[in-house]
Structure 1
Amino acid sequence: MTTSSRNIAIYFHVHLVSDSTGETLVGLMKASTAQFRNATALEHIHALVRSEAQLEQTLQSIENKPGVVLYTLVNPDRRRRLEEFCRLHKIPAVSILDPTLAMLGRYLGASIISEVGAQRNLDAEYYNRIEALDYAMAHDDGQSVQGLEEADIILLGVSRTSKTPTCIYLANRGYKAGNIPLVPGAPLPVILEQFPKPFIVGLVAAPDRIVQIREQRLMGLKQTGQTDYIDQDRVRDEMRQAKRMFLKKGYKVVDVTRKSIEETAAQIINLYKAHNEHN
């Protein structure tokens, strides 16, 4: 294969068929296609497929735009119908949960419950996530500093270190997270020293990357002209002071320069768990 042929963009149809919300399929598909540099998936989400009529409509869509099929169907009849249809039309199809469920079944010596959307039962964990999301929104960007004493995790960082989206992601995992921006010349709230519970993490990034993100933000706000906010030397000094302060306080530090929000949150959760195990 020549270099030019390897660089040709590939577009293909992906049908995500689920009798629940389809979020599991979407996440897996995005993670998988990201490994193929030139491949772009054209998503067709068929969620809440819980009747024969809905399934027939889904099959018609697959026939009209053939590609690959990823599915999570609990109902055995609808699942069998989809599998037979894909075999007949020579369309690759994968039930993405089967290998994991089979492995867990063998390990646990138990059978699955075959309940649609079982992972979304309105249990205590669900309500904890909702409460954590409300908490993250109420304690974003230094709001309600007093209430931060109830946080599981507090994030500190200069502007544009992804504090807010990381807190939202942590909340979706059930962690109460708030964040405080580091403003040049402004001290941290003294009350932070009085918090016995929260696990505090400092977020840092390469100054060049911060400047780039800030420039994009100003452009989005239709603001032009040079300011200290995007001055290379000022930003470099901001980051240097932040790192110095994190070291002095003994806070854990996570570099977000080349990380996605999910990767940043995963690292923070690992640090949080390790911290709790030793305290």
Structure 2
Amino acid sequence: MDGLKGKTSVYVLSDSVGETADLVARAAISQFESSDTTTIRVPYVDDKTIVDEVIEKVINANGLIVFTIVLPEIRHYLLDQCSQRDVPVYDVLSPLLHMLEEKIDAPPKNETGLLYTLDEDYFKKVEAIEFAVKYDDGRDPRGILRADVVLVGVSRTSKTPLSQYLAHKRLKVANVPLVPEVDPPEELYSIPPERVIGLKINPEKLNGVRVERLKALGLKEQANYATFERIEEELSYAQSIMNKIGCTVIDVSERAVEETANLIYQSVHKK
């Protein structure tokens, strides 16, 4: 297109937020060196008047249109007007919709914004993620009383990543580190033990994890944090607390975070 040889504008139209079409346009523009090309997003195009206004601007700017409009009436009108006025236009979705329609043998819904529907499930996930951040690492023991599940264990047993992973499964998770010098919060003993999951790990594995952590922080490997004597002390203390609570205990020594998270998720739902 001649317009892309110099300065031009790509008008991105959508009957939703327009993010998909905008990403496609930007991806294409990035392939042209020193191209002085801008994108102008026009979301929620659900009226022919808006289409007419945009086409006038495109003509004046010597630009082009990229769109993801699924409403048939608006889409057809836009294509018809662009054809009549010789405005370059690119339909992002229709070719793929037609291909899928043939393969699936069913018509598309032609509903706007389905990709970004903010339903109840979405808000539950956001709430769970915020909960996991707020009640991470024993910051506020009040979270223990509100949590769907509470993770307990010594440092470096993946409590935080597990909390976040489970949050994406809509579970509100609090986690509490078990340290010999600090008594665990009383709230741990006031909730049903089935809501608590203990995480244990073998000393050799924990030593390796902690040594790598110290290296990443630029500290000496010989620090007390990673010695077997300290590790054995912490693991013994943590086991005594878990026994006192009477909670389920999962060995994370040879398990990926995803595997452990699935075990916890199944355990919580089963009970």
Q: Which runs of 4+ in 1 moved over 3 A?
A: 48-51, 53-58, 74-77, 110-120
Residues of 1 paired with 2:107 and 2:259: CA distance?
33
What is the rounded CA distance, in whole Å, between the counterparts of 1:139 and 1:125 in structure 2? Answer: 21
1:228 to 200, 224, 229: 224
User: What displacement does 1:245 show?
Assistant: 3.0
Which of 148, 154, 157 is matched with 2:150 structurally? 154
The answer to whether residue 75 in structure 2 is matched with residue 79 in structure 1 is no
2: CA distance, partners of 1:197 / 1:113: 47
Computed over aligned residues only, the root mean square deviation of the Cα atoms, in angstroms, reads 3.7
- Select between 229-238 and 164-173 the one with higher mean Cα deviation: 229-238
Q: CA deviation at 1:120?
A: 4.7
Give runs of aligned pairs for residues 167-186 of structure 1, distance below 5 A: 167-186=163-182
Conserved? CA contact 2:151–2:174, under 8 Å: yes
Instruction: Give the aligned length.
Output: 195
Unmatched segments (≥5 aa) in structure 2: 1-18, 32-69, 71-91
Query: Superposition pairs for residues 5-44 of structure 1, below 5 Å?
Result: none
Cα displacement (A) at 1:232: 1.4
Aligned counterparts of 1:111 and 1:156: Cα–Cα separation in 2: 50
Change (3 A) 1:174 1:112: farther
| Distance verdict in 2 for CA 1:198–1:148, change over 3 Å | farther
CA distance in 2, matches of 1:119, 1:198: 37
Question: What stretches of structure 1 of length at least 5 have no aligned partner?
Answer: 1-47, 61-73, 84-94
Q: Output the TM-score relative to the length of structure 2.
A: 0.60
Query: Residues 140, 200 of structure 1: CA spacing in aligned structure 2 closer, same or farther, 3 A cutoff?
Result: same
Bigger radius of gyration among the two: 2
* % identical aligned pairs: 32
Report if aligned partners of 1:154, 1:198 keep a CA contact under 8 Å in 2. no
Retained in 2: the 8 A contact 1:167–1:178?
A: yes
Aligned equivalent of 1:139, options 135, 142, 149: 135
Which of 259, 263, 266 is matched with 2:262 structurally?
Answer: 266
Please report the TM-score for the alignment, with normalisation by the length of structure 1: 0.58
Contact 1:149 1:198 in 2 (8 A): no
